[in-house]
Amino acid sequence: MNTPQFYIFLLCVVAVTKIATDVYARWARNHGVVDKADGLRKLQKAPTPVSGGVVIYAVAALAIIFGVAHHNVGSNDAYDVSFTKIVLILGAALVLVLTGFVDDKTGIKGKRKLLLQLLAASVIVGGAQNYGGVELFGRTLNLGHLFFPLALFWLAGFINAINLIDGADGVASTIGIMIFVTVGVIGVLHGAAYELIAFIAFVMAAATFGFFLCNRPPAKIYLGDSGSMLIGFMAAVLLINVCSVGRGTIRFFPAFTIAFLPILDSFSAIIRRTLAGRSIYFADRSHLHHRIQTHVGRNWKLLGTLVALQIPLSVGGVWGTLYARGEKPWGDLVPLGAAFLVLVFLIVTNIFGRNELKLMILGVKKLFVKIFVPRKLKPDQPHEYINLQEDDWKQLWTSILNQTADYPCFFISLDVNIPAMEVDFYASKGDKAVEKGISADPRSILTLRIPLMVRDKEYCGNLFMQYDMQETDSRSAVELADRLKNESVDAVETFMRTHRKQDERRHPKK
């Protein structure tokens, strides 16, 4: 592949994708395939064409079929990746692209979308008859029948990881390009046996870069679910293949390190939402790219920081795969060390991960108290709060605690989330009824979940309270909850007015 003709071929893929994206963007705008601002998570100024993954797939699929069929790419592949298997990969990818397109256009329920993702992943895993183990520090762990569900988890998980990180202009496409180029480099370094894998990776990188020229800040078109799922799926499939050691074994740590940023972001989101008492589907603005925006700025500064973080991960992944044939157990220390250093850097600089770490510590502490401390809640039990973004809501939380001090409220939590203003605060005190072991008699429990609505229409969080009805009456508890709700809403409205005034001073209208 190291020929002038191949480089020209990749440039043609970039050019065709760029032109096709411009054409598709006009069509999408005319036919209502657009993403509209909602004032909460989607903050673009005008409706923006979406589902650009359709273009990436169309150009990349044609380029891959052309290269395999007419230029004998992969004829020396030691793993016998036949044309039929290429069709299976592209067919599974097509299922995801069409699923994403429908979701972008009309919406699909999360469970149905996950089912279709698993269906596409099972096509690939079902055909992987030669695989069944992973290599860790030079030792092969035979997974046996566990390989199939774990491989499905890897594919579906990474599909959704890229989807989660696709929250700012050019972020997912930048990460995708970096991963595809890394896979291509590994394939080239490993020789003819990985020629087809490298070819597909470079074609995907070229097609994604062609789209990136329209998706870069300020974006003229979005990837949408069709694009994020396509990039996640192809990256996950290629990583499994390029990090394979002989027949049947996958080298885990290089693949994990190359894909570390999306994996870290997804894992942190699950930890953050679960330990904060939220649904894992709860949308927030505490993702990796949001935190980087807060510290270094938006647009190109954000993308430059992501590239800088991905470079050591890619280098570590490439280094790790080079020792696959030498059977040197310490070869895995390099990619693992690269991931560890990036994680430490993010936590120490408070860019990302510190709040999630605090939540994990609080969760462990609660578990310890639950196991070793008597169930009865002590009056002086310390409260817990986490600013998931930079703004401090401690004053409001302290006021709520003072007002509930004389009430038999064994659990209370405050959740303030205003994505448009990058506000994300969670605080709690006590244990929920189930955790206290008093759920046997639900009549003795009064549970109040009060949504916080600004201007009676904009949801900005909730106040959650649980009382022991044997020690108080419901009327006084509801009156207290209503006062706390009004105080919380007033605090949020005051913050929003102040934030808008500061924003107007920073960005005056011309």
> For residue 178, what are the contacts with CB-CB under 8 A and spacing of at least 6?
307, 310, 311, 314
* pLDDT above 90: residue 73: no
The C-alpha torsion from 61 through 62 and 67 to 70, rounded to 10°, is 140
Q: Quote the distance between the C-alpha of residue 117 and its chain's center.
A: 16
Structure confidence at residue 109 (pLDDT): 87
What's the count of helices (H) and strands (E) in the chain, helices before strands? 17, 11
Between 346 and 430, residue with greater pLDDT = 346
User: Predicted confidence band at 417 (pLDDT cuts at 50, 70, 90)?
Assistant: confident
User: Of the candidates 383, 449, 453, which has an alpha carbon nearest to the alpha carbon of residue 417?
Assistant: 453
Report DSSP letters for 392-460, one per residue.
Answer: --HHHHHHHHHHHTTS-EEEEEEEEEEGGGTEEEEEEEE--HHHHT-TT-GGGEEEEEEEEEETTTEEE
User: Of the candidates 467, 174, 451, which has an alpha carbon nearest to the alpha carbon of residue 311?
Assistant: 174
Length of the chain: 510
Domain chopping of the chain, boundaries = 4-355, 376-506
Both tokens of 217, joined, read: 């800040």
| pLDDT tens for each residue of 37-62 | 655 555 666 789 999 999 999 999 99
- In this structure, are residues 255 and 136 in contact, taking their beta carbons and an 8 Å threshold? no
| pLDDT tens for each residue of 142-151 | 887 888 889 8
Amino acid at 1: M
- In this structure, are residues 461 and 414 in contact, taking their beta carbons and an 8 Å threshold? yes
CA dist., res. 4 & res. 306, Å (int): 30
Structure confidence at residue 214 (pLDDT): 96
- In this structure, are residues 487 and 399 in contact, taking their beta carbons and an 8 Å threshold? yes
**Helix or strand or coil: residue 134?**
strand
Beta-ladder partners of 451: 462
Peptide bond into 218 cis (omega under 30): yes
How would you list the strands of the sheet with 384-387, edge to edge?
384-387, 423-430, 409-418, 458-468, 445-454
Label residues 123-144 b or e (16+ Cβ within 10 Å = b).
ebbeebeebbbbbeeeebeebe
User: Of the candidates 398, 401, 287, 299, which has an alpha carbon nearest to the alpha carbon of residue 346?
Assistant: 287
pTM, two decimals, is 0.85
**H or E element, residue 478:** helix 474-506
User: Of the candidates 318, 320, 347, 350, which has an alpha carbon nearest to the alpha carbon of residue 336?
Assistant: 320
CA dist., res. 72 & res. 67, Å (int): 7
Write phi, then psi, for 308 (nearest 5 degrees).
-60, -35
Least confident range from 12-16, 77-81, 86-90, 95-99: namely 77-81
Bridging pattern class, strands 133-136 and 384-387: unpaired
Residue with tokens 């709860």, as numbered in its chain: 282
CATH number of 376-506: 3.30.450
Q: What's the mean per-residue pLDDT of the chain? A: 83
Residue with tokens 């480089």, as numbered in its chain: 7
Classify 331 in phi/psi space as left (phi over 0), alpha (psi -120 to 50) or beta. Answer: alpha
- In this structure, are residues 271 and 331 in contact, taking their beta carbons and an 8 Å threshold? no
Q: What is the CA radius of gyration of the chain?
A: 25
- In this structure, are residues 178 and 310 in contact, taking their beta carbons and an 8 Å threshold? yes
Bridging pattern class, strands 423-430 and 409-418: antiparallel
User: Of the candidates 255, 220, 349, which has an alpha carbon nearest to the alpha carbon of residue 294?
Assistant: 349
| pLDDT tens for each residue of 274-308 | 877 677 777 777 889 988 988 888 789 999 999 99
Structure confidence at residue 99 (pLDDT): 96
CA dist., res. 10 & res. 15, Å (int): 9
> For residue 310, what are the contacts with CB-CB under 8 A and spacing of at least 6?
175, 178, 179, 261
- In this structure, are residues 465 and 452 in contact, taking their beta carbons and an 8 Å threshold? no
| pLDDT tens for each residue of 445-465 | 788 888 888 876 777 888 988
Between 492 and 435, residue with greater pLDDT = 492
Least confident range from 30-39, 108-117, 264-273: namely 30-39
Structure confidence at residue 8 (pLDDT): 93
User: Predicted confidence band at 438 (pLDDT cuts at 50, 70, 90)?
Assistant: very low
CA dist., res. 453 & res. 460, Å (int): 6
Least confident range from 262-276, 396-410, 430-444: namely 430-444
Both tokens of 175, joined, read: 């990460």
User: Predicted confidence band at 378 (pLDDT cuts at 50, 70, 90)?
Assistant: very low
